[in-house]
Amino acid sequence: MEEFLTSNGVQYEHHDVPSDEAAREDLKRREIKSLPATIIDDDVVIIGYYPKKLIPALKLDISVDLSGKTGWLSDKYALMLKAAIRAARQLSDAQLQEMVPWREWTLRKTVMHILSFPELALNSHTHGSMSTDDMKASDERLSTVTSVEEVAQYGDSVRQAIVKFLASGDTQSFDRVVPAHYGGEVTVLELLNIILSHSTHHLKQLYWHMETNLGVTLVDQATEDDLEGIATPSTLI
């Protein structure tokens, strides 16, 4: 969201909701329950990253077209997912059941989140959505994937499926508009782009935790070049 605003020359005020009590109260007053939320002139409220609403509301003379980025998306997904799989392989089955410090998740849940969100975004082109119900169904379906090897095999299947889809040239599926879990509607390609950033952010959190808290010396981690161009929040945790 911030990258979209900055790259289009939009001046804005950022409010960190967890640490900004006034912002939380304002959202509560407006009955806004999902983030990100963009409030324009204290009147127009747009929930989620929703370019098709943001562009006219902000009077921007641009269009959002990711049709030429399928090759880039494919390459970046392959690099990011392979990196997540390599990181997972440096953990033991027992470590996968340990908790991470930033939320009530196990390491397994963290790694599976990195891998399963891209699959959910991919499947939206046939399923028609990426909703919270879809996420719950995915978690239930994948509940038996518990060992490091099972996690790695699942991650590689996701990588192969995304690369195949992005190489398909199926513009009808690329451009299908689907409702997303955070609010708003996006095309499947837009959703895949958003989720690439989301999973990459969690991969960086995983790296930090493994090095800082587990004392793991990361082997063959993703490089800056591998992740170049993928927008992630400046705050890690």
pLDDT of amino acid 183: 64
Q: What is the DSSP-derived secondary structure letter of residue 130?
A: B
Residue with tokens 């009077």: 59
Residue 37 tokens, joined: 């939320």
pLDDT of amino acid 66: 64
pLDDT of amino acid 70: 95
Contacts 24+ apart (CB under 8 A), 46-52: 46/184, 47/182, 47/183, 47/184, 48/180, 48/182, 48/183, 48/184, 49/1, 49/4, 49/182, 49/184, 49/186, 49/190, 49/194, 50/183, 50/184, 50/185, 50/186, 51/4, 51/186, 51/190, 52/185, 52/186
Low-confidence ranges of the chain (pLDDT < 70): 34, 49, 64-67, 183
Residue 147 tokens, joined: 């060992």
* Complete domains list, the chain, with CATH: 2-57 (no CATH), 67-227 (1.20.120.450)
Distance CA(199)–CA(31), nearest Å, equals 28
pLDDT of amino acid 151: 98
Q: Cα–chain-centroid distance for residue 121? A: 9
pLDDT of amino acid 64: 67
Strand (E) or helix (H) holding 40:
strand 37-40
Structure confidence by residue, pLDDT tens digits, 12-29: 999 988 889 999 999 999
User: What residues contact 28, with CB distance under 8 A and at least 6 apart?
Assistant: none
Check whether the bond before 36 is cis (ω within 30° of 0). yes
Structure confidence by residue, pLDDT tens digits, 116-146: 999 999 999 999 999 999 999 999 999 999 9
Q: Which residue, among 101, 215, 205, 95, has the nearest Cα to 147 in the 3D structure?
A: 95
